[in-house]
Structure 1
């Protein structure tokens, strides 16, 4: 069994630095960087959803020969779901980590992420003056230590990485509109959604459109599972790597039993 990881919007393979070694104990793992991020070369082409999907499918076709579980975080969630639909001969299960889904509604996502344009623009400026890496060290990647932290600070602090992240954001809402118009994109294979615990009461869960979009995706498949994290952190794989690795292992073991029966 192979597990292929997909990062979220504007992020590199390093978001999986705490989960991938745990998963490697029971499965073959593949992590990669989309164009312009991490170790990958930059491109001048707009980073549309379809471009990101092509990156993912190229890795899937090149690196994976047998049954595969796709794991996607945030904007990597719809990439993983679309890829599973494109390659039903290879993809046998999906684990989604606080994904950003078209089921939430593209316009609602746009309003909820209204400040993102300023954020990604500021990151380009911080990269130009050599401060982005240190800013990321104290925010997104504060859970990392040692070589993994030094690597992500050096790679994600580059101007080309900041530009790639900004381009992904600039094309995200259009991509979500297209997914919403043509979806739902939910292949009927074993699927787990792991949702950040932003709510604590039934009323809050009812108003949490991200939670509700995850629930709708799970309800759309024959074999679905919905799990909540203990924290409110969107980067559950960094805040609670044991939880994410355990859900991936659960999926892999169930699929191994199914395919060996």
Structure 2
């Protein structure tokens, strides 16, 4: 398993585990998507060591962080991100969010006013795919519940998650197997999917204020078979969001896990905002 030094910090009553690296006046703080922790960024972080001080962390209930007293909403997660940034990152801050992390970083940006946002295949809550998402959320939860039961057999989980083993370094994948693809890790993922489901209506009713800084949206050009039917709609609404906030939109020749498949592209986007 990977052996990267980290620290713990009490944030809003929960012990949050994070890892720092790099140096520079700018700070880059990463927010993972549902089901992922700090290891999602293992292929991106080393590419920024010469230009920024980076922070990757596990949300409450994930990886090496403690569990919150109550299941977290997206706004709760955003409040944790805000507190973490205010404590750790006194300089210019770039927030980088993947998938669900896009919702979290956009809400946190209302308070933090970061120097830039990089949104990687972010959840576009305005897309009509989410008009009646409850059945999909229930189906997803049933699948995750089955995986949670199967995760008690590590060889089986290794078989089920083999695509991650092909995308990530071996030590990163071993850490994911030990932290994310476990009964506790999959329970946390189920809570996060429920949080996204609840946040869709909230974000439509009270969307985050447009960021007052540069925004780059990176959109995956292909998807897993069960996601493919909504791919064009999701990409269109990601593009619309970028246009709405005066940001940049770019394609990534990748599936949803862009930080693993196109880490150089993610790092290049962050560098543009760091040096802007």
Q: What range describes the TM-score normalised by the shorter chain of this pair?
A: 0.7 to 0.9
Please report how far the alpha carbon of residue 72 of structure 1 lies from its aligned counterpart in structure 2 after TM superposition.
0.3
Deviations 1:154-210 (A, max 9, x none): 1113322111111111222111110111125432320000001139xxxx9x98221
Alignment of 1:104-123 (within 5 A): 104-105=127-128, 106-107=130-131, 109-110=133-134, 115-123=139-147
Instruction: Evaluate the alpha carbon distance shift between residue 184 and residue 146 of structure 1 in structure 2; reply closer, same or farther with a 3 A threshold.
Output: closer
Please report how far the alpha carbon of residue 28 of structure 1 lies from its aligned counterpart in structure 2 after TM superposition.
0.6
Q: Which residue of 1 aligns with 2:275?
A: 253
Instruction: Evaluate the alpha carbon distance shift between residue 65 and residue 46 of structure 1 in structure 2; reply closer, same or farther with a 3 A threshold.
Output: same
Please point out which of 172, 192, 199 is paired with 2:196: 172
Question: Does 1:27 find its partner at 2:49?
Answer: no
The list of structure 1 runs, each at least 4 consecutive aligned residues, that deviate by more than 6 angstroms after superposition, is: none
Q: How many pairs are equivalent?
A: 246
Q: Which residue of 2 aligns with 1:156?
A: 180
Cα RMSD for the two superposed structures: 2.5
Q: Which moved more, 1:127-136 or 1:10-19?
A: 127-136
Q: Which residue of 1 aligns with 2:106?
A: 81
In structure 2, what is the Cα distance between the partners aligned to 1:163 and 1:131? 19
Instruction: Evaluate the alpha carbon distance shift between residue 147 and residue 116 of structure 1 in structure 2; reply closer, same or farther with a 3 A threshold.
Output: same
In structure 2, what is the Cα distance between the partners aligned to 1:135 and 1:86? 42
In structure 2, what is the Cα distance between the partners aligned to 1:145 and 1:80? 26
- Structure 2 unaligned blocks of 5 or more: 1-25
Instruction: Evaluate the alpha carbon distance shift between residue 209 and residue 195 of structure 1 in structure 2; reply closer, same or farther with a 3 A threshold.
Output: same
In structure 1, what is the Cα distance between the partners aligned to 2:69 and 2:28? 30
Please report how far the alpha carbon of residue 136 of structure 1 lies from its aligned counterpart in structure 2 after TM superposition.
6.0
Deviations 1:85-134 (A, max 9, x none): 1112xx11000000012222532555666631222212321233445752
Q: Which residue of 2 aligns with 1:101?
A: 124
SS of the residue corresponding to residue 167 of structure 2 reads coil
In structure 1, what is the Cα distance between the partners aligned to 2:201 and 2:165? 30
In structure 1, what is the Cα distance between the partners aligned to 2:156 and 2:193? 17
In structure 2, what is the Cα distance between the partners aligned to 1:162 and 1:52? 17
- Structure 1 unaligned blocks of 5 or more: 255-261
Alignment of 1:138-157 (within 5 A): 138-157=162-181
In structure 2, what is the Cα distance between the partners aligned to 1:38 and 1:165? 11
**TM-score, normalized by length of structure 2?**
0.81
Please report how far the alpha carbon of residue 236 of structure 1 lies from its aligned counterpart in structure 2 after TM superposition.
0.7
**TM-score, normalized by length of structure 1?**
0.85
